[in-house]
Amino acid sequence: MASAKTPAVWAGHPLLDPKHAKDLELASAVNEFHHGQPRQQAEQQALNDYRREHHSRAAAHHLNGMKAAEAVGSQDDAAQHFALYRLHVRALGHEPHGEVPAEVKRYQEGEDAELPYRFKGHGADKFLTQSIKPETQQVQKAEPPVGQDQRRLFDYLMSL
């Protein structure tokens, strides 16, 4: 097993996670026995597909990170994200200033997306559902909102 000092490798190629070796073995076997490729070519194809997938994932990560950084006014972070996005997109054989490649969009949107930001509540949110009546000093729970669009937010607040 690989340690922090010695990265996991498969067929001489570094892996992002030692668990990926099993997927590469399977992909190589499919290439060799199902598609009839010679073993060396099957392994190389598996590695090429592995690298392509992770370049796509990284490009999507950096594109989303760039947009998030720009949204909060962090131009230095946005520039760093764009620099890495550019390198990953070029490694995929595309130009970074054109349309986002479909293989990158796949990881930028939908089920496979790795979004740079997800909603996270704050501890003081529970104060929104509780008020203290000055005359009794007792906590009083809030009433549900009338509008259906606020129901999800209210349910979150009441779960605190």
H, E, C per residue of 86-148: HHHHHHCCCCCCCCCCHHHHHHHCCCCCCCCCCCCCCHHHHHHHEEEECCCCEEEECCCCCCH
Is residue 42 within 8 A of residue 32, CB to CB? The reply is yes
Residues 71-129 have pLDDT tens digits of: 999 999 999 999 999 999 999 999 999 899 999 999 988 777 777 777 777 777 766 66
Look at residue 5 in the predicted model and tell me its pLDDT. Answer: 63
If one compares 18 and 7, the residue with the highest pLDDT of the two is 18
How far apart are the C-alpha atoms of 50 and 47, rounded to whole Å? 5
pTM: 0.71
Q: Which of 101-105, 127-131, 143-147, 151-155 has the highest mean pLDDT?
A: 101-105
Domain ranges across the chain: 9-108, 123-158
Look at residue 6 in the predicted model and tell me its pLDDT. Answer: 72
Look at residue 113 in the predicted model and tell me its pLDDT. Answer: 77
3-class secondary structure, 13: strand
Look at residue 111 in the predicted model and tell me its pLDDT. Answer: 73
- The distance between the two most distant Cα atoms of the chain, rounded to a whole number of Å, is 83
pLDDT, average across residues 51-65: 93
